[in-house]
Amino acid sequence: MAALSPDTPVAVIGAGTMGAGIAHVAAAAGHPVLLFDADPDAAKRALHAIAGHLDRAIDKGRMVENEADAVLERIAPVEALEELATAGLVIEAVIENAEIKVGLFKQLEDILEPDAIIASNTSSLSITELAASLARPPRLAGMHFFNPAPVMALVEVIQGLETDSGIAQTLVDTAAAWGKSPVLCKSSPGFIVNRIARPFNNEAIRLLDEGATDVFTLDAVMREAGGFRMGPGQLMDLVGVDLNWDVANAMHDSFFKDPRFRPSRIQAEMVAAGRHGRKTKRGWDDYPEGAETPAPQTAPQADPPSEVTAYGDLGPANALLDRLEAAGVKISRADGPEGHIHVDGHSLALTDGRMATERAAGAEGPNLALFDLALDYGAATRIAVAVADQADPSTRTAVAGLFQAAGIAVSFVDDTPALLLTRTVCLLANFATDAMMQGVTDAAGIDTAMLKGLNYPRGPLAWADTLGAARIVTVLDNLQRLYGDDRYRATPLMRRHAWSGQPFHG
């Protein structure tokens, strides 16, 4: 199969924000586009919105005026479904309601030519279930764009149990011809992005519920250490705490109450209180006019260390030593407790999922602090650190002085298992292996989807390859042991890679 020819008419049903964006994308790729909405004024508003996007593209030098005019001329609003009869592809972007969508598809079957493709832009409904009531289930597939469609590169092409494989491949090729990054996946709850991304929000809420830190510090660590564009609190407030709550419950139900998808009580309280995020001006943050986001917790400036010794391999944190030395900190290397840094008589190590207090009760000694993961220790501007309950107060000062000497701000958090970023990354990788194991898509598809659909700084399986599956399994096993909760169970596929040492890519 190959991409649809640019002269193939494409119909878009639903002229809201997403439908208008999809119409824009198809018209920009050269297709004549038929735009239908049950509200006659919606198509006019959509054309106005598209014209605004095109004007901004002209202002930024990305397009010339005659090109923009040609895009608009290719989009023709229609007043009745019957006017879509010539379309070779119909993309539905109506309300997320299975009954409404199925009723629409049945009408389309009586209108369209037998070889026309029907695609749903659903973000959560089963393509298999939507197709089951149709006379010809193989012609229906999912084509899930991300908002805003003209900007976001990812398109999830979803193949239901009865979807014709050739049709699915045509949609993949067509999306690629439209300049998108399509990923073919099997119909399953949440598809790729909404399934794998659950821990980013769910674990953040659990950490906040446990008092590990405050939302502003959590968000800052995820941005400044993890490289994420937004922290989970910011993201939930932008999208809507209530919408996130609905998705969390839908995923939990779809996976038959699997504890990995369990929603949080604190989120239910926020929804009940009307704290839905930016749209209600109160969510994880408050949004009064002109207010600034509160600053994250940051340790006060401390003196640089006088004596630093690194013992053994620090694994992913080895780059931290290079950064410290580049900043003028003299580091001695020695054999001893693997993966530790001794700072003026205090001990520092990368978290392995255990609490600092537990490790301090063993052979590592009382003056122990654990530090969190970073996307790039050579560039991170903030790090989360937890100190054992047994530690002397001077441990905090010594550890803060070490990181500050390298230009890294320190956010001390409560002694919580796996800290903030480590817990999130390990769970994202674990969810990714679960989707891979169940045949939703492959490793390349997963990482492409998370990079292109959510702008993640690194794909979860690329991150797993960087950390090593064995390290991730250790963290997950410690989390499961400490919480006694099956939500932290490592997948069999993650364990296989831990035992074999094989990467997920390559």
Catalytic residue among 144, 340, 342, 346: 144
User: 297 vs 32, 84, 213, 339, CA distance in Å?
Assistant: 54, 57, 9, 27
Active site residue 82: no
What's the 3-state SS for 267-334? HHHHHHCCCCEHHHCECCCECCCCCCCCCCCCCCCCCCCCCEEEECCCHHHHHHHHHHHHCCCCEEEE
Among 24, 53, 92, 156, the one annotated catalytic: 156
Answer yes or no: 156 catalytic. yes
Sequence-distant (≥ 6) Cβ neighbours of residue 269 within 8 angstroms: none
Active-site annotation holds for 66: no
Single-letter amino acid, residue 275: R
User: Burial level of 416, CB count in 10 A (0-12/13-18/19+)?
Assistant: buried
Catalytic residue check, 123: yes
For residue 331, CA distances in Å to 39, 120, 408 come to 69, 58, 17
Of residues 120, 187, 194, 411, which has the active-site annotation?
Answer: 194
Joined tokens for residue 34: 């038929």
CA distance 264 to 244: 11
- Which is the catalytic residue, given 120, 121, 123, 202? 123
Instruction: Report which of 299, 301, 247, 295 is spatially closest to residue 271, judged by C-alpha positions.
Output: 247
The 3-state secondary structure of 172-233 reads HHHHHHCCCEEEEEECCCCCCHHHHCHHHHHHHHHHHHCCCCCHHHHHHHHHHCCCCCCCHH
Give the SS3 label for residue 141. Answer: strand
Token pair for 208: 């906040």
Phi-psi region of 365 (alpha: psi -120 to 50; beta: other; left: phi over 0): left
Give the residue numbers marked as catalytic.
123, 144, 156, 194
